[in-house]
Amino acid sequence: MDILESQSAAEYLRHAYEVPDAFPQCPLPDEHFAGKWQEAKGREALDFLADGFGLPVSGFVWRRKNDLQISFAHTLGGRLPVISAGCHEDFRSMEALLNGREKSQELPLTVNAFAMQARAEHVFRHRLLLLNSAPYSNVPARRLGLSDEDWLERSRRLRLRHECAHYETLRLLSGMKNHAHDEILADALGQIAAFGRFDADRQRLFFGLERGTNKCNGRLSFYCQKLPPQEREEVYRAVDMVLDSIENRLDALLAQNAEELRIFAALAGTSIAERLEAAESGGGAGLER
């Protein structure tokens, strides 16, 4: 995903997707490469990558190779291959392998997922999800009142649905960005998958936001790094202000048993700026496209 070029907070907050009046029938047909990955069923992940694609898996040290698994995600945009790792070292090695590099790169421990387009020979331009097993957003289980085991399983579901959402904006709306708007969309769908609903305070934890302030000490700051420093606090304030109204709107949609595509469209088609204007005027976040 591309990080936006330098811009003002006002410009940044206007980003949203043009949502059509009617979507094509979903899920969309699988992309052409999906059938090849079906051959991984019942096979060891590294054996399949070596035999099926000729990837040099022996060039890496695998810490927990038995935990490496290949599966499929069923998204609104069609099926997508998923490679799951059991530790951060193997996650980094797999990213390097799929992108045709001989050595893994350093990644923060907070980075545990990619919706990626592979660059290595024989898997070139295959889109897939690469996931690691770790607490989501590096938030400890005790902050959520959960056991470590429960939180790790919920993190897996949240992370998977989050990355699927990025793929869905790409296939259904022709875009995918490292942006607060996209992250709210993806985390909202992820929270629903992991917890049954979206919770604004839980999202503040994931973003590193302090309620009622323009302070951020976590992941949201990454998606604002191309903004001038003096503009970032305005984005933090705006995101904090719209999260409660998004919670209310999603609760209403879930109470109506709204289809997933409708929830996706409601999140994708309304910018943070529009939600902020509605929230400040007392209109909530009822905007939909």
Residue 86 and residue 45 share a domain: yes
Its sign, for the CA torsion 236, 237, 238, 242, is positive
- Cβ within 8 Å of residue 275, ≥6 positions away: 242, 245, 246, 285, 287
Q: What are phi and psi of 116, to 5 degrees?
A: -125, 160
Q: Which of 117, 134, 151 is the last residue of a domain?
A: 134
Question: Rounded to the nearest 5 degrees, what angle is found at the Cα of 26, between the Cα atoms of 23 and 28?
Answer: 100
pLDDT at position 288 is 61
pLDDT at position 2 is 46
What pLDDT, in 10s, does the model give residues 104-136? 999 988 899 999 999 999 999 999 999 999 999
What pLDDT, in 10s, does the model give residues 219-253? 999 999 999 988 999 999 999 999 999 999 999 99
Q: What whole-number distance in Å separates Cα of residue 63 and Cα of residue 53?
A: 22
- pTM comes to 0.94
Nearest to 112 by CA among 95, 139, 88, 80: 88
Residues spanned by the domain of 58: 30-134
Q: For the chain, how many structural domains are there in total?
A: 2
In a domain, 36, yes or no: yes
pLDDT at position 200 is 98
Q: Which of 109, 134, 159 is the last residue of a domain?
A: 134
In a domain, 209, yes or no: yes
Residue 165 and residue 287 share a domain: yes
pLDDT at position 284 is 58
In a domain, 22, yes or no: no
Residues linked to residue 75 through DSSP beta bridges, in sequence order: 78
Residue 117 and residue 2 share a domain: no
Q: Do 240 and 184 meet the contact criterion of CB atoms below 8 Å apart?
A: no
In a domain, 71, yes or no: yes
In a domain, 62, yes or no: yes
What pLDDT, in 10s, does the model give residues 128-187? 999 999 999 999 999 999 999 999 999 999 999 999 999 999 999 999 999 999 999 999
**How sure is the predictor about 283, in pLDDT bands with cuts at 50, 70 and 90?**
low
Q: What whole-number distance in Å separates Cα of residue 195 and Cα of residue 199?
A: 9
Token pair, residue 272, equals 């943070």
Residue 82 and residue 160 share a domain: no
In a domain, 231, yes or no: yes
In a domain, 23, yes or no: no
pLDDT at position 3 is 43
In a domain, 277, yes or no: yes
Longest CA pairwise span in the chain (Å): 60
**Average pLDDT, stretch 266-287?**
85
Residue 218 and residue 157 share a domain: yes
Residue 67 and residue 205 share a domain: no
Residue 282 and residue 193 share a domain: yes
Q: Which of 134, 157, 190 is the last residue of a domain?
A: 134
Residue 97 and residue 63 share a domain: yes
pLDDT at 43 over 90: yes
Coil, helix or strand at residue 252: helix
Residue 166 and residue 122 share a domain: no
Residue 148 and residue 13 share a domain: yes
**How sure is the predictor about 4, in pLDDT bands with cuts at 50, 70 and 90?**
very low
**Average pLDDT, stretch 15-37?**
97
Residue 238 and residue 111 share a domain: no
Nearest to 178 by CA among 215, 221, 139: 221
Residue 202 and residue 61 share a domain: no
